Amino acid sequence: MKTVLYLSSSGVQYWCKSGNTWQAQDSAGAGPVCLLSNLPEEGFEEIKIPRIFGSDRNNFIRRQLASRFLDTPYTSLLKTPVTGGLMDHLAPPRQIAFGLEAAQRINAALGALGPVPIEGVWATSLLLAQVANHKSLPPDLFVVFPDVDALRIVFVKQHVPVLTRLIPTVVQAPDVAAEITRTVRYLENNRVLERSSEPRNVLLLGNPPEIDLWLKNENLKRLTAPPPWHKTEPVDWRFALFDRVVAAPAGQLAPLSWRSRFVANRLRAPVYVASGLCLLLAVVVAADNLNQIATDYSNKQDIELRNRSHETQINEINLKIAGFGVSADEVRQAVMLEQTELANAPSLSSHLQLLSETISSFGSFRLVDLDWHILNKGQEVCGGAAAERAPSANEAQAEPVQALPTRQVEISFQIVDLLERGERAKMQAITSFSAKLTQVQGLKLQLDPAKVLALGSLSGGGALIGRSGDKPLIWCLTMPWPASNPKPGPT
Give the lowest-confidence range in 211-220, 294-303, 330-339. Answer: 330-339
Task: Inform me whether the pLDDT recorded for 484 exceeds 90.
Answer: no
Q: Is the domain of 75 the same as that of 198? A: yes
Q: Is 269 within a domain?
A: no
| Percent of the residues in the chain that have a pLDDT greater than 90, as a whole number | 51
Residues 6+ apart with CB under 8 A from 454: 431
Same domain, yes or no, for 368 and 327? no
Question: Considering the domain boundaries, does residue 491 fall inside one?
Answer: no
Give percent of the chain with pLDDT exceeding 70. 89
CB 478 within 8 A of CB 435: no
pLDDT(364) > 90: no
In tens, the pLDDT along 170-193 reads 989 999 999 999 999 999 999 999
pLDDT of residue 176: 94
Domain contains 232: yes
Is position 268 within any domain? no
Q: Is residue 490 part of a domain?
A: no
Which carries the bigger pLDDT value, residue 314 or residue 461? 314
Same domain, yes or no: 105 and 248? yes
Q: Are residues 316 and 448 in the same domain?
A: no
The pLDDT of residue 404: 41
Q: In terms of domains, do 320 and 360 share one?
A: no
User: Binning pLDDT at 50, 70 and 90, where does residue 483 land?
Assistant: low
Query: 221, 254, 287 — which closes off a domain?
Result: 254
Whole-structure pTM value? 0.59
- Asked which of 187, 219, 254 is the last residue of a domain, the reply is 254
Task: Select the more confidently predicted residue: 221 or 323.
Answer: 221
CA dihedral angle for residue 59, residue 63, residue 64, residue 66, rounded to 10 degrees: 140
Q: Count H helices, E strands: the chain? A: 13, 17
Q: What is the pLDDT of residue 156?
A: 96
Which pLDDT does position 319 carry in this prediction? 83
Task: Summarize the confidence of residues 364-380 as an average pLDDT.
Answer: 85
Mean pLDDT confidence for 40-64: 93
Predicted local distance difference test score (pLDDT) of residue 388? 45
Whether residues 20 and 130 fall in one domain: yes
The pLDDT of residue 376 is 80
In a shared domain, residues 59 and 109: yes
* Residue 344, pLDDT score: 67
Question: 98: closest CA among 253, 304, 240, 219?
Answer: 253
**Omega prior to 228 cis, within 30 of 0:** yes
Kindly state whether residues 215 and 291 are assigned to the same domain: no
Q: Which of 42-56, 187-201, 431-445 has the lowest mean pLDDT?
A: 431-445
In this structure, are 241 and 169 located in the same domain? Answer: yes
pLDDT at 393 over 60: no
* DSSP one-letter string for 232-288: S--SSHHHHHHHHHHT--S-----HHHHHHHHHHHHHHHHHHHHHHHHHHHHHHHHH
pLDDT of residue 237: 93
Residue 268's pLDDT is: 87
Is position 64 within any domain? yes
289 pLDDT band (50/70/90 cuts)?
very high
CATH code of the domain in which 174 resides: 3.30.420.40
Query: How much is the pLDDT for 85?
Result: 84
- pLDDT by residue (tens digit) across 113-145? 989 999 999 999 999 999 999 999 999 999 999
pLDDT of 433-467, one tens digit each? 888 888 888 888 888 888 877 765 444 443 444 44
> How confident is residue 7, by pLDDT bands cut at 50, 70 and 90?
very high
Average pLDDT over residues 366-392: 74
Q: How far from each other are the two terminal CA atoms of the chain, in whole angstroms? A: 110
Final residue before a domain boundary, out of 304, 323, 343: 343
Q: What is the domain range of residue 309?
A: 274-343
Residue 224 pLDDT more than 50?
A: yes
Asked if residue 76 belongs to a domain, the reply is yes
Q: At residue 167, what are phi and psi to the nearest 5 degrees? A: -105, 115
Query: What average pLDDT score do residues 216-240 get?
Result: 92
Backbone angles phi, psi at 222, to 5 degrees: -85, 130
pLDDT of residue 462: 39
The neighbouring-strand residues paired with 447 are: 476
Is the domain of 239 the same as that of 287? Answer: no
Rounded Cα distance between 291 and 299, Å, is 12
Residues 279 and 187 grouped into a single domain: no
Model confidence band, residue 223 (pLDDT cutoffs 50, 70, 90): very high
Number of domains in the chain: 3
Contact 439, 429 (CB under 8 A): no
What pLDDT, on a 0 to 100 scale, did the predictor assign at position 456? 59
Mean pLDDT of the chain: 85
Which tens digits make up the pLDDT trace of 247-258? 989 999 999 999
Say whether pLDDT at 54 is over 80: yes
Q: Are residues 237 and 338 in the same domain?
A: no
Helix (H, G, I), strand (E, B) or coil at 45: strand
Q: CA 61 to CA 337: how far, in whole Å? A: 99
Residue 263: inside a domain, yes or no?
no
- Residue 332: C-alpha distances to residues 125, 155, 323, 335, 406 (Å): 104, 109, 17, 5, 22
pLDDT value at residue 400? 43
